[in-house]
């Protein structure tokens, strides 16, 4: 009885493809199991481009004494790729700002130990932190408080209660416009109820 020698099976269809009349699978190199080629060459990967956040990786210092608000803000900022530093009082906030030099500060006005106005004043008198943009967070919405925020160099004033989900958009717009050198224009737009000649 004549024995036939079994042809070796190889990935890529070199022997198996000829024996069975099938064309070789040219989509993957020989010697690789199915699926390896697509992972190695990128074929089969989703083609939809990922939305790129222009300020992804920016660092924001959140100075806020209410833990629940800090958590909500942190979660929403982190979802947009924005790193958050946190301080629960003004004293710690000044120290962190001087040490870490964040890209932007979200500053609550009503703080224990040292309120937000004093924090802003201390940061303005320090050459290392005087140019850091500050967005005030406050339950006070009257013109007197907004004027004080303007006088202290604030680039924004968000009145509580606010939607934490909208905070990332405010941060992104602020950082982008600061990068374009639009600090004063942004201040004028966000403090439209404050006349420059009276501030």
Tell me, what CATH number does 184's domain have?
A: 3.40.50.2300
User: In which element (H, E) is residue 85 found?
Assistant: strand 83-87
- Do 40 and 129 reside in the same domain of the chain? no
52 versus 102: which is more confidently predicted?
102
For residue 103, being part of any structural domain is answered with yes
Domain limits at 140?
59-198
Residues 46-92 pLDDT 10s: 555 555 555 788 999 999 999 999 999 999 999 999 999 999 999 99
Does 107 share its domain with 160? yes
In this structure, is residue 157 part of a structural domain? yes
Using alpha carbons, select from 122, 32, 82 the residue that is nearest to residue 134.
122
- Closest C-alpha among 51, 31, 49 to residue 40: 31
Same domain, 89 and 148: yes
Please tell me whether residues 103 and 163 are part of one structural domain: yes
SS in 3 state form for 109-147? CCCCCCCHHHHHHHHHCCCCCCCCCEEEEECCCCHHHHH
Alpha carbon distances (Å) from 153 to 106, 156, 157, 195 = 13, 9, 11, 14
Mean pLDDT over each residue of the chain, to the nearest integer = 79
**Three-state SS across 19-56?**
HCCCCCCCCCCCCCCCCHHHHHHCCCCCCCCCCCCCCC
Is residue 79 in some structural domain? Answer: yes
Q: Would 192 be classed as within a structural domain?
A: yes
Domain count, the chain: 2
């Amino acid at each position: 009885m004549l024995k036939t020698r079994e042809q070796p099976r190889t990935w890529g269809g070199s022997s198996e493809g000829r024996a069975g009349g099938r064309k070789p699978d040219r989509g993957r190199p020989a010697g690789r199991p199915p699926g390896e080629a697509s992972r190695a060459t990128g074929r089969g990967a989703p083609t939809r481009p990922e939305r790129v956040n222009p300020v992804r990786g920016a660092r924001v210092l959140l100075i806020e004494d209410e833990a629940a608000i800090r958590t909500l803000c942190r979660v929403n900022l982190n979802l947009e790729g924005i790193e958050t530093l946190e301080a629960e009082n003004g004293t710690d906030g000044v120290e962190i700002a001087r040490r870490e030099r964040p890209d932007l500060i979200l500053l609550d006005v009503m703080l224990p130990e040292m309120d937000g106005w004093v924090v802003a004043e201390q940061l303005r008198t320090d050459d290392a932190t005087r140019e850091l943009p500050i967005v005030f967070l406050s339950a006070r919405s009257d013109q007197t408080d907004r004027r004080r925020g303007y006088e202290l160099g604030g680039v924004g004033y968000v009145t509580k209660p606010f939607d934490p989900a909208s905070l990332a958009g405010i941060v992104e717009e602020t950082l982008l416009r600061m990068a374009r050198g639009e600090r004063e224009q942004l201040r004028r737009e966000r403090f439209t109820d404050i006349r420059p000649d009276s501030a």
